[in-house]
Amino acid sequence: MARVCEVCGKGPQLGNKVTTRGKAKYLGGVGTKVTGISRRQFKPNLQRLHVTEKGTNKSVLVCTQCIRSGRVVKKVRQAPFKLPVGAKE
């Protein structure tokens, strides 16, 4: 299936788009009114990520919650810089 997180399976969900009109009471108005409700699709925030999996590197679609929670391990593109041993400023 397209546009689905390959780790947790999160995909598009259906919901309502609620259109309002008017000024809120706390701002001095008479209150907001609902003028329309229509169906819409909420899409997950998917990112294409290079991931190390079972010793191989591959590109996967992953949602941002899986990236932030650490459920996927990013591919190391370049080793981090290390100071030589014994070097002083």
Structural domain includes residue 8:
no
User: What is the pLDDT, as a whole number, of residue 54?
Assistant: 78
User: 42-69: per-residue pLDDT in tens?
Assistant: 999 999 988 877 778 888 999 999 999 9
Helix (H) or strand (E) holding 66: helix 64-69
Q: What's the chain's average pLDDT? A: 89
6 CB neighbour count, 10 Å cutoff: 17
User: 66-82: per-residue pLDDT in tens?
Assistant: 999 989 888 777 777 88
Structural domain includes residue 62:
yes
35 CB neighbour count, 10 Å cutoff: 10
pLDDT at 89 over 80: no
Least confidently predicted of 13-17, 36-40, 51-55: 51-55
Q: Per-residue DSSP letters for 5-62?
A: -TTT----EEEEEEEEES--GGGTSS--EEEEEEEEEEPP-EEEEEEEETTEEEEEEE
Range of the domain at 32: 13-69
Structural domain includes residue 36:
yes
pLDDT at 19 over 80: yes
SS3 label, residue 3 = coil
Q: Token pair of 61, please?
A: 């679609």
Structural domain includes residue 74:
no
Structural domain includes residue 5:
no
> Number of folded domains in the chain?
1
Structural domain includes residue 40:
yes
Structural domain includes residue 58:
yes
Q: Who contacts 16 (Cβ-Cβ below 8 Å, separation ≥6)?
A: 37, 38, 39, 40
Structural domain includes residue 21:
yes
